[in-house]
Amino acid sequence: MLIDIKSLTREDLKARFKAWDQPEYRVNQLLRWLYPRRVTAWDAMTDLPGPLRERLRQMYSLQTPELLRKQGSRDATQKFLWRLHDHSLVESVLIPANPALYGDASDRQTLCISTQVGCAYGCKFCASGLDGWKRNLTPDEIVEQVLAVERDVTSDKWQVTGKQIVPRAVDNLVVMGMGEPLANYENLLAALRILNAPWGGGIGARKITISTCGLAPQIRRLADEPEQFRLAISLHGATDAVRNRIMPVNRKYPLKELVAACEQYQAKKGRMLTFEYILIAGVNDSMEQTRPLAILAKKLFAKVNLIPCNQIVGLPWQRPADDVCEAFLAALERQNVAATLRREKGRDIDAACGQLRLKTEKQLLKA
Ligand code: SAH
C-alpha cells in the first residue's frame, strides 16, 4: 500500500520535490490544493504539470474516507460515520461551540475526531472499547476527518461562490473520539502538526485539545513537545478506589503517577488542563468525592468538566438525577474550582463515544 500524501509535512514534500528536481514553489502549489482547497483528485490540481501529477499518483495515495452515515442537523450536533479503505468504521462529531472547554459561547464549531479503530483500554463506561482494539489510524486518516467534514458542511458555499478556496468550518479540535490518542502517539503528532500548520489545517495549537485516559509516560513526552496543545484528562474518579473500579488503566498508572505527569505538563505549558469527569450514579457522584477532586484540580490549575454519563446499551451505568449533578457542581464551586456541567448536545443521535459505529456494525452484521 502507498503512503498517503496527507501523511507528509511540508518539509517531507520539499525533500521529495528536491530529489525530483522540482522547484520549491511546486510544493506550495500542491499544499494549496490539498488543504485550503481540499480537492480529492490529482487531476483537479490544474497548475501542476501533468508529468509531476503522474509521478505523485504513482508514489502516493490520495484517500478520502467514505461517508457512510450522517446524523443530526446543521445547527445542532452532527455526527459523521466514516468507512475507511479496509472497511473499518470511525466517527467524528461536529459540535456547535463548546463553552465547557473554551469558556465562551459563540457560533464557533468544535470537531471531535478519532485516532484508533476501537480502543484497547476498556474503560467500563465507554462504547469505544467494547469490541477491543483493531488498529491505529494513519496521520492522513486523522487529518482527513477534518477535511472531509469541512468539505461536507461547506459544499453549498462552494457551489454558490464557485470559489476554489472555501471557508473553513472547524475552529476547535478535540481529540476525544474513538481510541486513545496517546497510544497512537507518532501518528497523532504527525497529524496534529499538519492540522496546526499555516500551510495545512491552520488550527491554532491552543484550539486543539488532546484527551487521554491517563497514559502518564506519554503525557510527559507531550510536555516536552514545542506545541501548546491543551490536554484533557479523562479522570472520572479522584481516588484510586473509584478509578480502579471503572478504568483498568489506573492499575498501570495510578493517580499518583498520573498527577505527577500532569504537574510536569502544567509546569511546562501553563494552565492548559481540563479534567473530564463523567458522573455515574452510585459510583463517583457522592459529595465526598468532590473533596479529593477539588484538591487535585486546584493543585494542577485544572478546569473540571462534569458530564452526566450516557446510557450505553448493554452496560449497567446510570446517569445521576439532574439535582445530584447540579449539587456536585455547586460543591466544586464552593471549593473554588472552575467547573462546568455539560447540558448535553447530541444525546439523541448516539453522539457519545463510539455508539453510532457500534450500532451500525451490528446492523451491517445482520444484513
Ligand atoms: N481515550 C481518550 C479519548 C476518548 S474518550 C480518553 O479517554 O480521554 C473521551 C471521553 O469520552 C471521555 O473522557 C468521556 O468524556 C467520554 N465518554 C466515554 N464514555 C462516555 C459515556 N458513557 N458517557 C458520557 N461520556 C463518555
Q: How far apart are CA 277 and CA 264, in angstroms?
A: 21
In this predicted structure, what is the pLDDT of residue 107?
Answer: 65
Query: What integer is the mean pLDDT of 170-197?
Result: 97
Task: Name the pairing type of β-strands 109-112 and 172-175.
Answer: parallel
Q: In angstroms, what is the span from residue 38 Cα to ligand 1's centroid?
A: 30
> Is 283 a pocket residue for ligand 1 (Cβ < 6 Å)?
no
Query: Percentage of the chain with pLDDT > 70?
Result: 90
Q: How far apart are CA 365 and CA 49, in angstroms?
A: 46
C-alpha closest to that of 164 among 49, 34, 267: 34
> Is 312 a pocket residue for ligand 1 (Cβ < 6 Å)?
yes
Q: How far apart are CA 235 and CA 332, in angstroms?
A: 15
Q: In angstroms, what is the span from residue 178 Cα to ligand 1's centroid?
A: 9
> Is 235 a pocket residue for ligand 1 (Cβ < 6 Å)?
no
In this predicted structure, what is the pLDDT of residue 159?
Answer: 53
Closest atom, ligand 1, to C-alpha of 213:
7
**Most informative mutation of 212, 307, 318 for ligand 1 (most atoms within 8 A of CB):** 307
Locate 177 and state its grid cell.
473520539
> Is 339 a pocket residue for ligand 1 (Cβ < 6 Å)?
no
C-alpha closest to that of 307 among 347, 337, 354, 358: 347
pTM: predicted TM-score of the whole model, two decimal places: 0.93
Find the range with the poorest average confidence among 104-108, 227-231, 252-256, 306-310: 104-108
Write phi, then psi, for 125 (nearest 5 degrees): -105, 0
> Is 231 a pocket residue for ligand 1 (Cβ < 6 Å)?
no
pLDDT band, very low/low/confident/very high, at 166 (cuts 50, 70, 90): low
Nearest alpha carbon, ligand 1 atom 7? 213
- Please report how many Cα atoms fall inside a 13 Å half-sphere around the Cα of residue 3, on the Cβ side: 11
Quote the mean pLDDT of the chain.
Answer: 91
The string of DSSP codes covering 51-67 is: HHHHHHHHHEE----EE
Closest atom, ligand 1, to C-alpha of 311:
22
Query: What integer is the mean pLDDT of 125-132?
Result: 89
Q: In angstroms, what is the span from residue 78 Cα to ligand 1's centroid?
A: 18
In this predicted structure, what is the pLDDT of residue 320?
Answer: 96
In this predicted structure, what is the pLDDT of residue 353?
Answer: 52
H or E segment and range at residue 83: strand 78-83
Query: What integer is the mean pLDDT of 283-290?
Result: 98
pLDDT band, very low/low/confident/very high, at 246 (cuts 50, 70, 90): very high
